[in-house]
A and B are shown apart, each in its own frame.
Chain A
Amino acid sequence: KNEVEQSPQNLTAQEGEFITINCSYSVGISALHWLQQHPGGGIVSLFMLSSGKKKHGRLIATINIQEKHSSLHITASHPRDSAVYICAVTPGGYGGSQGNLIFGKGTKLSVKP
């Protein structure tokens, strides 16, 4: 079992739909990251969070430390949101740490016009 699990693996939505991508992890963490990768492109960091909720534009990320679960929400989805969304964690107690991220396998999102 992977230490970071994402669901769904693939997601197709119609433009304007509200989208949720889920991430569960089984290790102690000091932070959780949501990353976005467009086809053939580099990775963009969307959020880093260790508690609560963060919002940036149409993107919202939440984390529940007790349940070891995070969600990424996209409101009013648009075709330009089509990308792979990756959940990654910085293991906790790793301190002074190697900065190694443990990655989920990603969720491929396709938003149709």
Chain B
Amino acid sequence: DAMVIQNPRYQVTQFGKPVTLSCSQTLNHNVMYWYQQKSSQAPKLLFHYYDKDFNNEADTPDNFQSRRPNTSFCFLDIRSPGLGDAAMYLCATSRWTGADTQYFGPGTRLTVL
């Protein structure tokens, strides 16, 4: 049974055209994370929510925003995608922050034309 679901799996957008990526979870976890992973690189944390509390990483560009309307869903909005934003976007969840296992979704591969 899928526990962390991401939609779509593949997303193509045009330069500057806003795009929204979706993540949902059936684990009822408190924490949801968004990572960006570029080719052959380690995942980079963009931000995370602990319940409704939003935590932005210091170096996450303003172009990236997130919403968490309820426990199950979290969205990543890219307001004006640039070519450099083409990447795999990974959603993950955990029960709490700190030393806890993170459960990852399958990722959404974003292409920017």
Report if A and B associate in a common complex: yes
Point out the residues of chain B lying under 8 angstroms from A105, CB to CB. 41-42
Judge if A41 is at the interface, Cβ distance under 8 Å. Answer: yes
Total of A-B residue pairs, C-beta within 8 Å: 63
Q: Which of A33, A45, A94, A98 contacts B55 (CB 8 A)?
A: A98
Q: Which of B6, B48, B98, B102 contacts A94 (CB 8 A)?
A: B98
Chain A interface, >50% SS class: loop
Report the interface size class on chain A: 20 to 34
Report the interface size class on chain B: 20 to 34
Whether B98 and A41, one on each chain, are in contact in the complex, defined by CB atoms closer than 8 angstroms, is no
Point out the residues of chain A lying under 8 angstroms from B34, CB to CB. none
Q: Which of A40, A43, A99, A106 contacts B94 (CB 8 A)?
A: A99
Question: If A98-B48, A100-B45, A104-B42 touch, does A41 touch B107 (CB 8 Å cutoff)?
Answer: yes
Bound Cα distance from A86 to B107, whole angstroms: 16
How far is the CB of A43 from the nearest CB of chain B, in Å?
4
Question: If A43-B90, A99-B31, A101-B45 touch, does A90 touch B109 (CB 8 Å cutoff)?
Answer: no
Point out the residues of chain A lying under 8 angstroms from B94, CB to CB. 99
Q: Which residues of A line the B interface, CB within 8 A?
A: 30-31, 33, 35, 40-45, 48, 50, 86, 90, 94-101, 103-106
Besides A31-B99, A42-B105, A45-B104, 13 more A-B contacts (Cβ < 8 Å) are: A31-B100, A45-B102, A45-B103, A48-B101, A86-B42, A90-B99, A98-B97, A99-B33, A99-B94, A99-B98, A100-B57, A104-B42, A105-B41
